[in-house]
Amino acid sequence: MASDFDIKQDTKSQYYWVMNAKNGEPIARSSESYVKKSDCIHGIRLVKDIAPTADVWDLTSGTATKLPASDIK
């Protein structure tokens, strides 16, 4: 489970977020940078709201297989 999110700026002074594990190691990063900090915060809200119910798909076998929620817990 994630411990926290960091908001950072890239070399173009645009904002992005990094999600960290409880041990402080980064485990995810926004897929884009945002011109406005408020848009970056909105991206964090989306991840926090959607992630608990997001489906997990295994694409490694060439066929998309939805993993049962019990396999993820």
Ranges of each domain in the chain = 2-72
27 Cβ neighbours under 8 A, 6+ residues apart: 2, 19, 20, 21
pLDDT at 19: 94
Q: Are 15 and 33 in contact (CB under 8 A)?
A: yes
Tell me 34's DSSP state.
B
Tens of pLDDT along 9-44? Answer: 999 999 999 999 999 999 999 999 999 999 999 999
CATH 3.30.1330.10 fits 2-72, yes or no: no
Higher pLDDT, 49 or 16: 16
Does pLDDT of 71 surpass 70?
yes
Closest CA to 44 of 6, 10, 9, 12: 6
pLDDT at 1: 61
Q: What does pTM read for this prediction?
A: 0.79
pLDDT at 2: 64
Closest CA to 17 of 50, 55, 26, 25: 26
